[in-house]
Amino acid sequence: MATTGAISFTDPAVQRCPFPAYAALRRQGPVYWDAASDAWIVIGYDEVRAVALDPATYSSVTGRLL
């Protein structure tokens, strides 16, 4: 796992065209913590599938009110 640092999906430029960010994340590895958006980013078929099939371990429920 890595921290993105330079890539944030809260950046308006990345939101307009996310494809270069996706490519950079794929080159770096399958799982990232994006501190700016306070979220994990999972890229890669096997990793996304593992997360999707295991809701007991991986959940978007945080108990926090936004």
8-state DSSP, 66? -
Instruction: Read off the pLDDT band of 66 (50, 70, 90).
Output: very low
Return the higher-pLDDT residue of 34 and 45: 45
Q: What is the reported pTM? A: 0.61
Q: How many residues does the chain have?
A: 66
C-alpha torsion sign, points 56, 40, 26, 12: positive
Which two tokens mark 52?
């999707």
**Distance, first Cα to last Cα, the chain:** 26
